[in-house]
């Protein structure tokens, strides 16, 4: 039995991945700001799921998360915490608000991985990557800025960490509160049409479909060479362009 840390575990893919791991008899420390959904998740598998309510963008909360792991070797950290990224024209973005989103999507995965490595081994550090990291879309530029920065942070980590495998997992489009944000955007956000088309074509996965595929990846044995990055595509493939 191994231990995993999943952030953003109160909804979406974080929730589904934590549940799928526990269903495979893995232990999981789950993190999100809201305690109630974490307690409900823990109630599904008492003894396997340990909730820690906290904000990954906050240093004191990250220290509590690290203390809860307590130096136990981690099979994986899944960085699933995600803010409600603004859907608006790039010229209307509030720089202060963008900084807040940057803290959660980019700075927190780096800081949390580094803090955990100072106290114990981490086999895998995992981000849920997006084609938006390489392809900006009209009205959804803030998301592309955050996802490209998060991707680059992990690609840099892959060069520097020899004992921790960096996994960049592309789940495609997944029915979560984050996807709802773009699906429900107004007519000023042209990108929303792209995602509505995917939904109408049946190309949106459920969180549990992704959670199960990701959990299988996280418990698969790692080879001896953990340097470099490992890129996986799961869920539905998304037409590009």
Which residues of the chain form contacts with ligand NAP (CB under 6 A)? Answer: 7-14, 31-34, 55-57, 80-83, 104, 128, 130, 147, 171, 173-174, 176-179
Cβ pair 46, 18 in contact under 8 A: no
28 vs 173, which CB is nearer to ligand NAP? 173
The residue (of 40 and 156) whose beta carbon lies closer to ligand NAP is 40
Burial 121-131 (b: 16+ CB within 10 A, else e): ebbbbbbbbbb
Q: Which is nearer to ligand NAP, 48 or 238 (CB)?
A: 238
Minimum distance of ligand NAP from residue 109's CB (angstroms): 9
Nearest distance from residue 162's CB to ligand NAP, in Å? 25
Q: How far is the CB of 140 from ligand NAP (least distance, A)?
A: 11
> Which residue minimizes CB distance to ligand NAP?
12
CA distance 114 to 154: 12
With respect to ligand NAP, which residue has the nearer C-beta, 161 or 178? 178
Pairwise CA distance, residues 240 & 99, whole Å: 28
Report in angstroms how near the CB of residue 224 gets to ligand NAP at its nearest: 29
DSSP H or E stretch at residue 165: strand 165-170
Q: For residue 106, which of 59, 149, 65 has the smallest C-alpha distance?
A: 149
Helix (H), strand (E) at residue 77: strand 74-79
Of 25 and 237, nearer to ligand NAP (C-beta) is: 237
């Amino acid at each position: 039995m191994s231990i995993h840390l999943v952030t953003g575990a109160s909804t979406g893919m974080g929730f589904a991945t934590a549940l799928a791991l526990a269903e495979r008899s893995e232990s999981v420390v789950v993190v999100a700001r809201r305690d109630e959904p974490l307690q409900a998740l823990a109630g599904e598998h008492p003894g396997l799921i340990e909730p820690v309510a906290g904000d990954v963008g906050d240093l004191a909360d990250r220290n509590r998360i690290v203390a809860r792991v307590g130096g136990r070797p981690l099979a994986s950290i899944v960085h699933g915490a995600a803010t409600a990224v603004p859907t608006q024209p790039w010229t209307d973005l509030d720089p202060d608000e963008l900084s807040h989103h940057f803290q959660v999507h980019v700075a927190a995965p780096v800081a949390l991985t580094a803090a955990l490595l100072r106290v114990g081994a981490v086999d895998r550090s995992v981000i849920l990557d997006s084609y938006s990291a390489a392809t900006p879309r009209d009205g959804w530029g803030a998301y592309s800025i955050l996802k490209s920065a998060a991707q680059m942070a992990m690609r840099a980590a892959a060069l520097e960490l020899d004992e921790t495998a960096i996994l960049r997992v592309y789940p495609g489009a997944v029915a979560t509160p984050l996807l709802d944000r773009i699906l429900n955007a107004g007519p000023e956000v042209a990108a929303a049409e792209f995602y509505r088309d995917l939904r109408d074509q049946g190309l949106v996965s459920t969180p549990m479909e992704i959670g199960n595929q990701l959990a299988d990846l996280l418990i698969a044995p790692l080879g001896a060479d953990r340097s470099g990055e490992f890129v996986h595509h799961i869920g539905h493939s998304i037409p590009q362009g």
